[in-house]
Amino acid sequence: MADTANVADVRAFLLERDPRLQPIMDRSVNAVNHRYVSHETLLHEGDELVFIPPTGGGC
């Protein structure tokens, strides 16, 4: 990956490696260091990036 990457770059990298992730990634939200962020958010060394899929349940 480049020295400067944003959330969208990581998403693209992961989808290139495994295109089967596309449906879930399309519906997931992003968080960096426990805060919701946009796709344009720049990442820095040591950041924790997570993709949070939608959840559902109950009766």
| Per-residue pLDDT tens over the stretch 20-53 | 999 999 999 999 999 999 999 999 999 999 999 9
pTM of the model: 0.83
Contacts 24+ apart (CB under 8 A), 32-41: 32/7, 37/7, 38/7, 39/6, 39/7, 39/8, 39/11, 40/6, 40/7, 40/8, 41/6, 41/7
Query: What pLDDT does 33 receive?
Result: 98
Checking if the pLDDT of 55 tops 90, the result is no
Q: Is residue 56 scored above 90 in pLDDT? A: no
